[in-house]
């Protein structure tokens, strides 16, 4: 850049700089305590017995033989749950343990738990528990829950939510009409840090402390306390180091079981899932079937979008209703469209429970609408980029829910910036074998390789929706010159701990900022999901720091007899604007004690009415992706060569961490496009391991070239939008469109499997 | 950790990071990963798949990078074992550890110790790896957060720094 600025660059460690993570040194040295690393004197191991059947009635549970094994300290079942017997985020429909006389509703449902002196003893104890089942026919087809032909498998019925959206003129017809049926497979979050927890009982069983890797400490506590029949203040949660989350830690998994075992034995208990159990222990991304029909004018302007979306929620509710609402309210994508008819269903089956995963319903909708946009471009005879630009949404446009997009909406700019990123060079006649599809497998043949380019553009809501007040709390304390922040925001890898320090350094003009333990000894922060913590917890930390700064300036004014309104912080100094006074903040804060706690709430939102109308979302972010792929058409192998992207971020607060979110999200979207799927047959997961559930490796990861579109978001407390989810949303259809471009195949389903391409 | 007489009472000694670590009253079926983490007080190696697919548990045994989840601890008697805890000197960061921090190679950090060990091993056997060689050598270490871009940059940075030293 050759522009000249009179502004000095931001001070190191403040907002806008790549401040380093405060947990980084411990993480590279191996000393960072993940929840699976927690240890206590006199520790017992816990383990969980699970149903092998997707649908069965439990006739009898006999734990006698397990109790007799030396080293086994306790065996618990549904009879031992002292409080509420079920839990859940939206509907409390999931049993802590399945009860005798009741049914298990998915393969992997917990039935009993043991605590013993060694993991191997636990394994033997679980094997010694005898359960008699009456096998029942599983309900596996969600369509049968819609037409009512399936029997109800839960007292709450088989429909989690049915919602329509009718907007504008439902009967209008376009000059050009394209339609398709699209499918998205069940994806796993596949965080590396497996579910693990350590529960330490209070003397006499009056309470319990739980070290847990979770996304939302306070929501966990609410559900746990109800099941334990303890007051919430007797259940203290401390964030154990979180090895990734991506939505899979929004729901309870081993929390109640671990606490129950600890309270029962009066000893610390640790449960740590293995990888196979993890596939049964948390919810997954919903598999979905989506019909869409787009109407457009001859020149490619959208006239109407119609859709029917069917989301298989599996056995328990989790967040299915909210996932569905996200999907249907994002049907139009980042495009202007006045008329719509959308019908959405989220249903209960005996398949594995599904819930939150990065992108939260929008991933499925986006795969369908972006596949349709390419179809529409072809039908209108115009370029895929041109049709997207032609329909690109702007601030002030109205969604099909009637909500006006009042966020910054630089959709066209995202598309143009992405298009301006240079394409990668051709493969050449004699490529390195590692550049071929299939990589180190070395099976692809240069002569069968075709290159394709594809596009995807998306809109994603930020924060929780439909009237939910997912506020966040933060405390800023200045004690004799030392600044300490406290919040319950789950650091799951995204780098909020770095951001919090950056905010405090910027607002308070100090360099050293301590972070207190992340636990439930302060107000709720809401969940580390929905791309919301930069906005919400960032807003809370900012507000608390500003309050502390104001208190400090008040005190300094009194102390030195200065005019308060003339005092500001300049860099690391408190200054009087008349130039008469300047003192280092840390020095000025010595001997003072300031303690300020603030909550940040976002603007109120509304429920949708029966026609799907209402201001249900808080704000939106946008992103464009262009994927370049090489496809071996003979073997069906795909190599994603490059992903170019421009993302609407409001403002970059930490460049390195933003880049990391974008590259990481793209890798996950690539996984859904070409390799990741939980294969479920007859209600059973067939590939619950990293041998059979394929994750993108170093060799699969594409070159990512990115641009951040920085247009300050006035609604956001820091001007920034969450960057976590958008990267993984439209990259999936971009890759699918690129493979279609290379092969000419329809490919209505992701992940695209080799046989979808070559057979 | 309590003893487990009914499960086993094996006693042996391992050479970890140049120190003798006595293992008492252990079960013969325990993996090296388990013993390092639960008995030797070295939790740096992580378990994420238990079948040698993810590399989170990578340690070096007699000069070879291996998945410690696939090694029976008792079979490592007599071998020299190096874990992530043995890499920096006197508590200082190694150049690889520093580069991971500088380049943004760490997010949740769960794969990080295994990566750090694998990168040290790669650069000792191949001080000047091409991008392809880096990608292939580290394709047994899965990272779910970063998409590998910042890790690639960290490895390349160390290779250049070592050359110019």
CB A315 within 8 A of CB A156: no
Does residue B122 sit at the A interface (CB-CB below 8 Å)? no
| Shortest distance, CA B78 to any CA of chain A (angstroms) | 24
Distance of CA A56 to the CA centre of its chain: 32
- Over its C-alpha atoms, chain B yields an Rg (Å, rounded) of 16
Confidence category of residue A7, pLDDT binned at 50, 70, 90: low
CA distances from A60 to A52, A68, A342 (A): 15, 19, 46
Beta carbons of A30 and B97 less than 8 Å apart:
no
Question: Would you say A678 and A187 are in contact if contact means Cβ atoms under 8 Å apart?
Answer: yes
CA-nearest residue to B138 within chain A is A698
Residue numbers in A near B116 (CB within 8 A): 28, 30
- pLDDT for the residue numbered A2: 40
Distance set, CA A698 to CA A440, A751, B143 (Å): 11, 19, 8
**DSSP type of residue A726:** G
Q: Smallest Cβ distance to B44: which of A30, A241, A495? A: A30
Q: Which residues are CB-contacts of A665 (< 8 A; sequence separation ≥ 6)?
A: A358, A724, A725, A726, A727, A728, A731, B147
Angstroms from A511 CA to nearest CA on chain B: 19
Assign B4 a pLDDT band (cuts: 50, 70, 90). Answer: very low
CA-CA distance, B56 to B113, in Å (whole number)? 7
> Could you read off the pLDDT of A549-574 as tens digits, one per residue?
999 999 999 999 999 999 999 999 99
| Closest A-chain CA to B26 | A118
Burial class for B35, CB neighbours closer than 10 Å (0-12, 13-18, 19+): buried
Which pLDDT band, with edges at 50, 70 and 90, does A162 fall under? very high
Please say if the pLDDT value at position B3 is more than 50: no
Rounded Cα gap, residues A395 and B3, in angstroms: 66
**Chain A residues close to B138, C-beta within 8 Å:** 698
Longest CA–CA separation in chain A, Å = 85
Residue B38 is classified by DSSP as I
CB atoms within 10 A of CB A62: 11
Q: How far apart are CA B34 and CA B52, in angstroms?
A: 14
Nearest chain B alpha carbon to A34: B110
- Indicate if the alpha-carbon torsion angle A496, A501, A603, A525 is positive or negative: positive
| Closest to A364 in 3D by CA, of A99, A626, A139, A187 | A187
**pLDDT tens sequence across A408-445:** 999 999 999 999 999 999 988 888 888 899 877 778 88
Token digits of residue A269: 């208990």
Q: Degrees (nearest 5) of the Cα angle A449, A455, A458?
A: 145
Torsion sign over Cα A167, A173, A179, A181: positive
Report H helices in A432-495.
Answer: none
Q: Do A698 and B147 touch (CB under 8 A)?
A: no
Spatial distance between the Cα atoms of A208 and A73, rounded to a whole number of angstroms:
18
Of A32, A118, A275, the CB nearest to B109: A32
**pLDDT class for A9, splitting at 50, 70, 90?**
confident
A666-683 tens-digit pLDDT: 999 999 999 999 999 999
- Binned at pLDDT 50, 70 and 90, residue B6 comes out as low
Q: Which of A193, A239, A234, A236 is nearest to A216 (CA)?
A: A239
Of B7, B111, B140, which has the smallest distance from its Cβ to A120's Cβ? B7
From the list A659, A691, A699, which residue is nearest B135 (CB)? A699
Order of strands across the sheet that contains A56-62: A103-104, A56-62, A130-135
Looking at the complex, report in whole angstroms how far the Cα of residue B137 sits from the nearest Cα belonging to chain A: 9
pLDDT score of B8: 75
What is the average pLDDT score of chain A?
97
Two tokens, residue A284: 């997954």
Instruction: State which residue of chain B sits closest to A497, comparing Cα positions.
Output: B107
Identify the CA nearest to A632 among candidates A752, A732, A746. A752
CB spacing of A37 vs B37 below 8 angstroms: yes
Determine what percent of chain A falls in helix, strand and coil, rounding each to the nearest 5: 30, 25, 45
HEC sequence for A263-331: HHHCCCEEEECCHHHHHHHCCECCCEEEEEEEEECCCCCEEEEEEEEEEECCCCCCCHHHHHHHHHHCC
Q: Kindly identify which residue of chain A lies nearest to residue B147, measuring between CA atoms.
A: A664
Q: Is the pLDDT of residue A5 over 70?
A: no
**A462 DSSP β-pair partners:** A619
Closest residue on chain A to B91 (Cα)? A29
Strands B10-16 and A449-462, sheet pairing: unpaired
User: What tokens appear for A183 in the block?
Assistant: 């499918």
Show residues of chain B in contact with A34, CB under 8 Å: 46, 109-110
User: What does the pLDDT look like over A325-383, one tens digit per residue?
Assistant: 999 999 999 999 999 999 999 999 999 999 999 999 999 999 999 999 999 999 999 99
What pLDDT is recorded for position A6?
A: 53
Q: Look-up: residue for tokens 């094994």?
A: A69
DSSP state of A417: H
3-state secondary structure A216-243: EHHHHHHHHHHHHCCCHHHEEEEECECC
The mean pLDDT value for B113-140 works out to 97
Does B155 touch chain A if contact means CB atoms closer than 8 Å?
Answer: no
CB proximity list for A489: less than 8 A, separation 6 or greater: A472, A474, A496, A500, A518, A525, A528, A533, A537
The region, left, alpha or beta by phi > 0 then psi within -120 to 50, assigned to residue A90 is alpha
**Is the distance from CB of A706 to CB of A647 less than 8 angstroms?**
yes
Q: Quick: pLDDT tens for A253-307.
A: 999 999 999 999 999 999 999 999 999 999 999 999 999 999 999 999 999 999 9
Distance between CA A280 and CA B107 in Å, rounded? Answer: 25
> How far B38 CA lies from chain A's nearest CA (Å)?
9
Nearest CA in chain B to A670: B147
Q: Which residues does residue A639 pair with via DSSP β-bridges, in sequence order? A: A630
Q: In what order do the strands lie in the sheet with A269-272?
A: A72-76, A110-116, A44-50, A269-272, A196-201, A208-212, A235-239
Please state the φ and ψ torsions of residue A156, each to the nearest 5 degrees: -85, 0
Q: Find chain A residues with C-beta within 8 A of B157's C-beta.
A: none
**Inter-chain residue contact A21 with B106, CB threshold 8 Å:** yes
B149 contacts A704? CB cut-off 8 A: yes
Query: Is the CB of residue B152 less than 8 Å away from at least one CB of chain A?
Result: yes
d(CA A507, CA A322): 36
Chain A contact present for B44, CB below 8 A = yes
Give B-chain residues touching A696 at CB under 8 angstroms. Answer: 147
* Mean pLDDT computed over every residue of chain B: 95
For the stretch A82-96, pLDDT in tens is: 999 999 999 999 999
Q: Is A243 within 8 Å of B4 when comparing Cβ atoms?
A: no
Res. B9 pLDDT band, cuts 50 70 90: confident
Report H helices in A359-478. 362-380, 384-391, 411-419
In the predicted model, what is the mean pLDDT of residues A57-63? Answer: 98
pLDDT digits (tens, 9 = 90+) for A452-504: 999 999 999 999 999 999 999 999 999 999 999 999 999 999 999 999 999 99
**Residue among B2, B56, B147 minimizing CB distance to A701:** B147
Which pLDDT score is estimated for A3? Answer: 42
What is d(CA A182, CA A750) in angstroms, rounded to the nearest whole number?
A: 8
């Amino acid at each position: 850049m050759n522009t000249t600025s009179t502004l000095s660059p931001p001070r190191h460690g403040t907002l806008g700089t790549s401040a380093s993570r405060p947990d980084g040194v411990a993480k590279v040295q191996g000393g960072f305590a993940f929840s699976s690393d927690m240890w206590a004197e006199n520790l017992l191991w816990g383990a969980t017995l699970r149903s092998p059947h997707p649908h069965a009635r439990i006739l009898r549970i006999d734990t006698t033989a397990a109790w007799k094994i030396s080293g086994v300290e306790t065996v618990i079942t549904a009879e031992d749950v002292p409080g509420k017997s079920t839990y859940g985020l939206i509907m409390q429909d999931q049993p802590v343990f399945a009860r005798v006389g009741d049914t298990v509703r998915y393969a992997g449902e917990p039935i009993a738990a043991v605590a013993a002196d060694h993991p191997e003893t636990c394994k033997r104890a679980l094997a010694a528990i005898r359960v008699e089942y009456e096998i029942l026919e599983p309900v596996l087809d969600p369509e049968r829950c819609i037409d009512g032909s399936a029997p109800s498998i839960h007292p709450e019925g088989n429909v989690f939510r049915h919602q329509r959206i009718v907007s504008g003129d439902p009967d209008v017809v376009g000059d050009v009409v394209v339609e398709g049926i699209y499918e998205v497979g069940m994806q796993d979050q596949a965080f590396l840090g497996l579910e693990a927890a350590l529960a330490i009982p209070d003397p006499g069983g009056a309470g319990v402390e739980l070290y847990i890797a979770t996304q939302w400490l306070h929501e966990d506590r609410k559900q746990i306390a109800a099941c334990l029949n303890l007051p919430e203040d007797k259940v203290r949660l401390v964030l154990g180091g979180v090895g990734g989350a991506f939505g899979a830690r929004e729901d309870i998994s081993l929390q109640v079981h671990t606490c129950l075992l600890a309270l029962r034995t009066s000893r610390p208990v640790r449960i740590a899932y293995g990888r196979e159990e993890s596939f049964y222990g948390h919810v997954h991304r919903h598999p979905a079937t989506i019909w869409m029909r787009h109407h457009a004018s001859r020149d490619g302007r959208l006239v109407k979008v119609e859709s029917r979306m069917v989301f298989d929620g599996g056995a328990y509710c989790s967040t299915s209703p909210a996932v569905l609402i996200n999907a249907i309210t994002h049907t139009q994508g980042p495009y202007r469209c006045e008329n719509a008819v959308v019908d959405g269903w989220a249903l209960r089956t005996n398949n594995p429970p599904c819930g939150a995963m990065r992108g939260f319903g929008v991933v499925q909708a986006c795969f369908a609408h972006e596949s349709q946009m390419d179809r529409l471009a072809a039908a209108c005879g115009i370029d895929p980029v041109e049709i997207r630009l032609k329909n690109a949404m702007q601030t002030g446009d109205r969604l099909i829910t009637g909500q006006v997009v009042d966020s910054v909406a630089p959709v066209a700019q995202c598309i143009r910036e992405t298009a301006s990123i240079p394409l990668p060079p051709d493969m050449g006649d004699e490529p390195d074998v590692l550049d071929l599809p299939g990589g180190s497998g070395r099976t692809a043949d240069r002569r069968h390789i075709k290159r394709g380019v594809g596009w995807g553009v998306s809109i994603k809501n930020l924060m929780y929706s439909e009237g939910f007040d997912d506020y966040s709390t933060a405390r800023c304390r200045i004690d004799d010159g030392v600044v300490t922040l406290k919040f319950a925001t789950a650091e799951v890898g995204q780098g909020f701990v770095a951001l919090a320090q950056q905010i405090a350094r910027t607002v308070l003009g100090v360099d050293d900022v301590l972070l207190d333990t992340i636990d439930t000894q302060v107000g709720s922060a809401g969940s580390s999901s929905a791309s919301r913590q930069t906005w919400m917890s960032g807003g809370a930390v900012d507000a608390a720091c500003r309050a502390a700064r104001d208190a400090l300036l008040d005190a300094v004014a009194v102390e030195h007899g200065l005019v308060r309104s003339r005092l500001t912080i300049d860099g690391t100094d408190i200054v009087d604007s008349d130039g008469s006074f300047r003192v280092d903040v840390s020095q000025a804060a010595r001997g003072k004690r300031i303690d300020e706690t603030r909550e940040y709430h976002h603007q109120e939102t509304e429920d949708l009415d029966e026609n799907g109308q209402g201001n249900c979302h808080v704000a939106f972010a946008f992103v464009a992706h262009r994927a370049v792929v090489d496809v071996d058409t003979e073997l069906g192998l795909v190599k994603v060569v490059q992903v170019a992207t421009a993302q609407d971020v409001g403002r970059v607060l930490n460049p390195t961490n933003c880049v990391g979110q974008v590259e990481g999200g793209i890798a996950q979207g690539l996984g859904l496009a070409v390799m990741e799927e939980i294969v479920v047959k007859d209600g059973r997961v067939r590939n619950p391991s990293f041998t059979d559930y394929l994750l993108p490796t170093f060799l699969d990861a594409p070159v990512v070239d990115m641009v951040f579109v920085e247009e300050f978001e006035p609604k956001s407390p820091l001007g920034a939008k969450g960057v976590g989810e958008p990267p993984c949303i439209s990259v999936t259809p971009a890759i699918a469109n690129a493979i279609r471009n290379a092969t000419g195949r329809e490919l209505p389903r992701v992940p695209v499997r080799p046989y979808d391409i070559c057979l | 950790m309590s003893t487990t007489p009914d499960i086993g009472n094996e006693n042996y000694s391992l050479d970890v990071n140049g120190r003798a670590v006595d293992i008492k009253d252990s079960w013969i079926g325990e993996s090296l990963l388990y013993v390092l983490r639960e008995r030797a007080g070295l939790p740096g190696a992580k378990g994420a798949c238990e079948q040698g697919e993810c590399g989170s548990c990578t340690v070096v045994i007699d000069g070879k990078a291996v998945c410690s989840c696939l090694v029976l601890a008792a079979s490592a008697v007599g071998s020299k074992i190096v874990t992530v805890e043995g890499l920096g000197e006197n508590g200082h960061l190694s150049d690889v550890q520093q580069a991971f921090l500088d380049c943004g190679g760490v997010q949740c950090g769960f794969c990080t110790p295994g990566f750090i060990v694998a990168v040290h091993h790669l650069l000792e056997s191949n001080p000047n790896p091409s991008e392809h060689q880096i990608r292939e050598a580290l394709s047994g270490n899965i990272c779910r957060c970063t998409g590998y871009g910042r890790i690639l940059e960290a490895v390349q940075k160390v290779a250049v720094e070592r050359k110019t030293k």
